[in-house]
Amino acid sequence: MLRLSKKVEYGILAMQYMAAHPRNLFTAKSLSENLHLSYDFLAKTMQKLMRAGLLDSQQGTKGGYFLAKPAESIRLMDILESLESRPELVDCVSDEKDCEKKENCYLHGPIQLLQKKVEDIFLLTTVQDIVEYNFVEIETNNNRG
């Protein structure tokens, strides 16, 4: 099943925490203590988010990290792609990988549709949505008639 890596989990947690406290600056140390996360792993994750332009920092004794853009404009997909690749349910949905069974596979179409829905959730859900517990509802057809 689709599972987010610890790196992505830490990135989302840290950015959600910073978005919930928008006027503050945070060191990796303070975030790791407040969120009960590994300092070393979080510090590396924060550096990657900064290189991707999602975080910025202020130097000095009272410095720290802050969101580089408003939380409502940072999508979960932005975080995911800055830390690893897009989530793939199976190899055959990737443009880079080819499946020898693709021509005779009856699951390829439905799996691609499911893949699209998963990607849409990551594309449409922002850090601010996570702060507000305001998750995107994906319309599905529940009629089986």
Other C-beta atoms closer than 10 Å to the C-beta of 133 total 6
Please compute the mean of the pLDDT values over residues 115-136 and round it to a whole number.
Answer: 87
End-to-end CA distance of the chain: 29
What whole-number distance in Å separates Cα of residue 136 and Cα of residue 54? 21
**Tokens matching residue 64:** 């720290």
Give the model confidence (pLDDT) of 44-66 as tens digits: 999 999 999 999 999 988 899 99
How does residue 89 score in pLDDT terms, banded at 50, 70 and 90? Answer: confident
Q: What percent of the chain has pLDDT over 70?
A: 85
How does residue 110 score in pLDDT terms, banded at 50, 70 and 90? Answer: confident
How does residue 95 score in pLDDT terms, banded at 50, 70 and 90? Answer: low
Closest CA to 12 of 58, 49, 65: 49
Please name the helix (run of DSSP H) or strand (run of DSSP E) that holds residue 64, with its range, or none.
Answer: strand 64-67
Phi, psi (rounded to 5 degrees) for 55? -120, 155
**Tokens matching residue 92:** 């055959």
The predicted model scores a pTM of 0.82
How does residue 145 score in pLDDT terms, banded at 50, 70 and 90? Answer: very low
Which CATH code of 2.60.40.10, 1.10.10.10, 3.40.50.11540, 1.10.730.10 fits the domain covering 6-132?
A: 1.10.10.10
